[in-house]
Structure 1
Amino acid sequence: MKFHFEFDVKKMLHPIQHQHNLMLIGSCFTENMGEKLQKHKFKVMDNPNGILFNPVSVAEAITAYVDNTIYTSSDLFQYNDAWHSWKHHSRFSATTTEASLQKINTATAAAHAYLSNADHIMITLGSAWIYTLTEKAPQAKHGSVAANNHKAPADWFYRRLMAIEEVLSVLDNMIHRLFFFNPKLKIIFTISPVRHLREGVIENNRSKAVLIQAVHHLVDKFDRLYYFPAYELVIDDLRDYRFYAEDLVHPNYQATQYVWEKFLGACMDDDTRNLIKEIAEINIAHNHRPFNATSAQHRKFMASYHEKTWQLQQKHPYLDFSEELQYFAF
Structure 2
Amino acid sequence: MDLQIPIQISTLSNPINYQDNIMLMGSCFTEHIGEKLDELKFSVLQNPNGILFDPASVASSLVSYVQNKQYQTEELFYYNEVWQSWQHHSRFSKTDLQECLRGINASQQEAHAYLKTANWLIITLGTSFSYRLTEQVPVSFRRGAVRGAVANNHRTPAGWFNKHLLTIEETTTMLDNCLHQLFQFNPNLKVIFTVSPVRHIRDGVIDNNRSKARLIEVVHHMVNKFDRLYYFPAYELVIDVLRDYRFYDIDMVHPNYQATSFVLDKFMRHFVDEKAQQLAEEIKKIVIARKHKPFQPSTEAHKRFLKTHLEKAQELQRKYPFLNLDEDIRYFLQ
The TM-score with structure 1 as length reference comes to 0.97
Task: Give the AA of the match of 1:28.
Answer: C
Tell me how far apart the structure 2 counterparts of residues 12 and 32 of structure 1 sit (CA, whole Å): 21
- TM-score, with normalisation over the residues of structure 2? 0.96
Displacement after TM superposition at 1:321 (Å): 1.2
The unaligned stretches of length 5 or more in structure 2 are: none
Q: What is the CA deviation profile of residues 27-65 of structure 1, one whole-angstrom value per residue up to 9, with x for unaligned ones? A: 000111111011000111110000000001000100110
In the alignment, which residue of structure 1 is the partner of 2:264? 260
Q: Is the 8 A contact 1:25 1:58 kept in 2?
A: yes
- Is the 2:193–2:229 Cα contact (8 Å) retained in structure 1? yes
| 1:181 equivalenced with 2:185 (yes/no) | yes
Q: Conserved in 1, the CA contact under 8 Å of 2:142 and 2:148? A: no
CA apart distance, 1:323: 1.8
Q: Which runs of 5+ in 1 are unaligned?
A: none
Q: CA deviation at 1:142?
A: 8.2
Instruction: Give the aligned partner of residue 275 of structure 2.
Output: 271
Superposed CA RMSD in Å reads: 1.3
Question: What corresponds to 1:79 in structure 2?
Answer: 79
Change (3 A) 1:170 1:142: closer
CA 1:318/1:200 → structure 2, altered by over 3 Å: closer, same or farther? same
Looking at structure 1, the residues matched to 159 and 199 of structure 2 have their Cα atoms a distance apart, in angstroms, of 24
**Is the CA contact 2:23–2:44 (under 8 Å) kept in the aligned structure 1?**
yes
Using the TM superposition, give the Cα deviation of residue 280 of structure 1 relative to its aligned residue in structure 2, in angstroms.
Answer: 0.5
Letter in 1 for 2:237: L
Check whether the contact 1:27–1:125 (CA below 8 A) recurs between aligned residues: yes
Q: Is the 8 A contact 2:38 2:44 kept in 1?
A: yes
Q: Classify the secondary structure of the residue corresponding to 2:150.
A: coil
CA contact (8 A) 1:74 1:139 kept: no
Q: Rate the CA distance shift 1:83–1:294 in 2: closer, same or farther, 3 A.
A: closer
Structure 2 counterpart of 1:148, from 140, 146, 152: 152
Q: Aligned residue pairs: how many? A: 330
Is the CA contact 1:186–1:225 (under 8 Å) kept in the aligned structure 2? Answer: yes
- After superposition, the C-alpha distances for 1:80-101 in whole angstroms (9 at most, x for unaligned) are 2222111111111122321211
Please say if residues 133 and 142 of structure 1, whose CA atoms lie closer than 8 Å, have aligned partners that are also in contact. Answer: no
**Correspondence for 1:62:** 62
The 1-side partners of 2:124 and 2:2 are apart by 30
User: Residue 216 of structure 2: which of 212, 218, 224 is its match?
Assistant: 212
Residue 151 of structure 1 aligns with an amino acid whose one-letter code is R
What CA distance in whole angstroms lies between the structure 2 residues aligned with 1:313 and 1:302?
A: 16
AA of the residue aligned to 2:195:
I
Name which of 139, 143, 148 aligns with 2:142. 139
Residue deviations 1:172-194 (CA, integer Å, cap 9, x gap): 00000000000100101000011
Equivalent residue number for residue 298 of structure 1: 302
